[in-house]
A and B are shown apart, each in its own frame.
Chain A
Amino acid sequence: MTLVIFLSVLIVSILLGIPVAFALLLASVALMLHMDLFSADILAQSLVNGVDSFALLAIPFFLVAGEVMASGGLSRRIVRLAMAYVGHRKGGLGYVAVFTAVVLAGLSGSAAADAAALVAILFPMMKGAGYPEGRSAGLLAAGGIIAPVIPPSVPLILIGVAGNISITKLFMGGIAPGLMMGAALLITWSVLVRNEPMDAKPKADKQERRAALRDGIWALCLPFIIIIGIRFGIFTPTEAAVVAAVYAVLVSTLVYHELTWAKFFHVLISASKSTGMIMFLVGSAMVASWLITVAQLPQELAQVLAPLIDSPRLLMAAIMLLVLAIGMVMDLSPTVLILVPLLMPVVRTAGIDPVYFGLMFIMNTCIGLITPPVGTVLNVVCGVGKIRVEKAVVGILPFVGVYSLLLILFIIFPELIIVPMRLIAG
């Protein structure tokens, strides 16, 4: 009943044209009334405290980095470079996007921040090159959610703690499924572009390639600086975002001489606005999550699973369906924190490998990040790319489909995750 009230108010509000953040707040108010708990304090405290997070600081920093790269000449040079090497392939920027997404996933633990960086840098280029907007946004969103699966990953740490699972094993185990997600995207993209009217450019000659490389080398250094910086403990993944922003500012002023004061001021305002839009939504989702937690909605659902304990694969399928449903309407962290401690006893009793379970759980909640009505990464992509939600949702659909197929494959063959994990973890 509680879930019905929440969902129907939320969906009707969004359809009426109420901004999603305010629709979430209205649905929360409806829950308050239903639970006889009406209070402005709940709304204000959950919203303000929900956004007061050091880890989320990566979002404005990556937004600034992305915008500086765009207006300071870095993005143009990376495009030129990518085009020189893979531009002759049909949909070449899409392949660039997937490779970048996998590299970024190895740098950062936040899907929202990765998606913001990907969209800020690549989306204008894809649009400029005449790629269909919805499809491109869909690919970038789907690429963004590889971040929490490949280490470093805040959600994997979270689930390790909540479910008492070894974080090292989760990290080692995440590499293989993360790469498989990337491969699945490459294949899907190559199939999709076959039917899209996009032109492949003529193949660039050697001289052109070398010139593009020389000109773009400064921009190309950035991912390596981030990889090396995080790998060797110079900075945290959150701090990597600020290093990226500072590096982008330095290169675009000192090397490329393209970033003016006026442009920089404009970048800061624009990044602040995007930050406000994205994070106000995060805060509103926190209000809803607080009320859903107090209503103890997920607990009731977990009890339903108890009879399936004798057939691990069936249990796993049921849990994945449940998580998918909850992930549609809830953010990743609260889903993990509320469901995992409840499900862990059932999972262990059924003899399911906890690390495998943890990875599946995170992959699944990540899919929830790009599905409506509540999808943090979906919102980030639409906000940063300035693309309408309905358009992005249609574009995302095939990638959600392929990720779901991947999940089904992993349910039938858990070895696909477990074997590489044992190989890497030793």
Chain B
Amino acid sequence: ATELKFAHAAPDTDLQQALAEHFADEVAKRTDGEVTVKIFPHGQLGNDQQMISGTRSGIVDIVMSGLNNVDGLMPQVGGLLLPYIFTSREHAYKVLDGEVGQSLLADFEDFGMKGLGFPENGYRNITNSRGPIREPEDVRGLNIRTNNSAALNEMFALLGANPQPLPVSELYTALETGVVDAQEHPIPITHSFHYDEVQDYLSMTEHSYSMLFIAMNLKKFNALTPEQQQVIVDVAQEATAYQRQMSIDKEASILADLKERGMEINTDVDKAAFQAAVASTWDSYKAKFGDDMITKILAAQ
């Protein structure tokens, strides 16, 4: 019997945990308990960097993390993280489940990992306390907390905001005291980290689609029987589809809950204007890594 350590950084109330549990149940069932999965949520086995390094060296067996966290290893993923690169969720699914996604999953093998699938965190949306964000002009002058994505930092600089890549552990207090006055995350994160308590407005800018990836240590994968390998691959695909669907279904209830907790939700966003204002982030990416990825993504529309 084999026991696999499955690590992710989300709280155990998050959909990522639901995915992991679904995965664990199905794998155990379909391998007659020969392969079991032990879940370590909440970054118990380390931050994203450590979970990914750990999966490469084999001290963690399976990792689920934001795709932006492998940007340094595989610069080609940067194309998927560009603002407004996907016209819809369906477009994103088509790309990730199609040729681009398949070749990306194969690329994980260069780093000792077996790529298994791309669940989602959802669209990134801006929250702040100054007012609803409808036009690019409404972002100007905001001190906004950003993650470590080069493209998103460039985007907010272009919009005249001041991007500040603070660690997420300091974000709540920073928003409360006003060190930064805005943040952008998929709404499940805004919800589970209670940013609504210190932010008044949520604007559905949907400026970037945040995807996750699941990957397994390659040696550990290859040590399984061909049947067990097939189970892992199949279940990962099913769990991904299951989690994406739940993510869509849950959006309405999260928004309702945020509203009830006192947030004003603004859906009136001029996305075309935003897209035009940040178009040069695509050019910066092309100049560095070529336009191969962007062409393929756009072709899949």
Nearest CB in chain A: distance from B62 CB, A:
14
Contact A164-B11, Cβ < 8 Å, known A236-B179, A293-B44: yes
Confirm or deny: A230 has a beta carbon within 8 angstroms of a beta carbon on chain B: yes
Q: Which of B52-60, B238-246, B288-296 lies at the binding interface?
A: B52-60
Per-residue CB contact flags for chain B residues 1-45 toward chain A (1 = under 8 Å, else 0) read 000010000011100000000000000000000000010111111
Complex CA gap A158/B43 in Å reads: 12
With a cutoff of 8 Å between Cβ atoms, the chain A residues found around residue B177 in the complex are 152, 230-233, 236
CB pair A109 B173 closer than 8 Å: yes
For window 261-289 of B, CB contacts with A under 8 Å fall at none
Chain B residue nearest in CB terms to A239: B179
- Interface set of A (CB-CB < 8 Å, partner B): 37, 39, 41-42, 45-46, 49-50, 52-55, 109, 152, 154, 157-158, 160-162, 164, 166-168, 230-239, 290, 293-294, 296, 334, 337-338, 341
Query: Does A45 contact B50, Cβ atoms closer than 8 Å?
Result: yes
Interchain CA distance A192-B13 in the complex, whole Å: 47
Q: Are A236 and B173 interface neighbours, CB within 8 A?
A: yes
A338 to B42, CA, bound (A): 9
Q: Of all chain B residues, which has the CB nearest A169?
A: B197
Residues of B within 8 A of A46 (CB): 46, 50
Task: Verify if B224 is at the interface (C-beta below 8 Å from A).
Answer: no
B57 (CB) vs chain A CBs: closest residue: A41
Q: Is B102 interfacial (CB 8 A cutoff)?
A: no
Task: Write out the residue numbers on chain A whose beta carbons fall within 8 Å of the beta carbon of B194.
Answer: 160-161, 166-168
- Closest residue on chain B to residue A154 by CB atoms: B169
For residue B227, CB closer than 8 A to chain A, the reply is no
Q: How far is the CB of B175 from chain A (nearest CB, A)?
A: 9
Least distance between A33 CB and chain B CB atoms (Å): 15
Q: B192 on the interface (CB 8 Å rule)? A: yes
Query: Given that A232-B178, A337-B43 are known contacts, is A41 also in contact with B59, CB under 8 Å in the complex?
Result: yes
- Is B298 interfacial (CB-CB < 8 Å)? no
Q: Is the CB of B197 within 8 A of A233?
A: no
On chain B, the residues within 8 Å of A237 by CB distance are 170, 173
As a 0/1 sequence over residues 221 to 249 of chain B, the CB contacts with chain A under 8 angstroms (1 = contact) are 00000000000000000000000000000
Q: Decide if B166 is an interface residue (CB 8 Å cutoff).
A: yes
Per a CB cutoff under 8 Å, which of B44, B58, B193 touches A41?
B58
Q: How far, in Å, is A374 (CB) from chain B's closest CB?
A: 18
Residue of A nearest to B261 (CB): A166
Contact A157 B41 (CB under 8 A): no
> Are the CB atoms of A45 and B57 closer together than 8 Å?
yes
- B13 neighbours in A (Cβ, 8 Å): 164
CB pair B172 A157 closer than 8 Å? yes
Instruction: Give chain B nearest CB distance to A421 CB in angstroms.
Output: 15
B87 an interface residue at 8 Å Cβ cutoff? no
Select A55's contact among B44, B167, B192, beta carbons within 8 Å.
Answer: B167
Which residues does chain B contribute within 8 Å of A42, judged by CB atoms? 59
A177 to B124, CA, bound (A): 38
In the complex with contacts A232-B177, A232-B178, A233-B179, A167-B46 CB distance below 8 A = no
Q: A45-B53, A45-B57, A55-B169 are in contact. Are A161 and B192 (CB under 8 A)?
A: yes
Q: Tell me, rounded to whole Å, the shortest Cβ–Cβ distance linking A46 to chain B.
A: 7
Q: Say if the beta carbon of B255 comes within 8 Å of chain A.
A: no
A contact residues around B197 at 8 Å (CB): 166-168
B104 at the interface (CB under 8 A from A): no
**Could you say which residues of chain B place their CB within 8 Å of the CB of A45?**
46, 50, 53-54, 57, 59
Query: Which residues of B (127-167) have their CB < 8 Å from a CB of A?
Result: 166-167
Which residues 58-87 in B have Cβ within 8 Å of A in the complex? Answer: 58-59
**Bound form: Cα–Cα A227–B11 in Å:** 32
The 10 A-B pairs of least Cβ separation, nearest first, read A233-B178, A49-B50, A233-B177, A41-B57, A54-B167, A233-B179, A152-B173, A168-B197, A42-B59, A293-B44
Contact partners of A296 in chain B: CB under 8 A: 38
Cβ-defined partner of A161 (8 Å) among B167, B174, B178, B193? B193
Q: Supply 12 further A-B pairs (C-beta < 8 A) apart from A41-B57, A164-B192, A236-B177.
A: A55-B167, A160-B194, A161-B193, A161-B194, A162-B11, A166-B197, A230-B177, A236-B170, A238-B170, A290-B46, A294-B5, A337-B43
Check if A341 sits within 8 Å of B50, measured CB to CB: no
Q: Cα distance A151–B127 when bound, in Å?
A: 23
Residues of A within 8 A of B53 (CB): 45, 49
Chain A residue nearest to B174 in the complex (CB): A236
- Cβ–Cβ < 8 Å partners of B88 in chain A: none
CA distance A364 to B172 in the complex (A): 23
B172 in contact with A341 (CB, 8 Å)? no
Determine the distance from Cα of A232 to Cα of B179 in the docked complex, in whole angstroms: 8
In the bound complex, how far is the Cα of B192 from the Cα of A162, in angstroms?
10
Q: Across the interface, which residues of B come within 8 angstroms of A239, CB to CB?
A: 179
Instruction: Decide: A341 and B59 in contact? CB cutoff 8 A.
Output: no
Judged by a CB distance under 8 angstroms, whether B253 is at the interface is: no
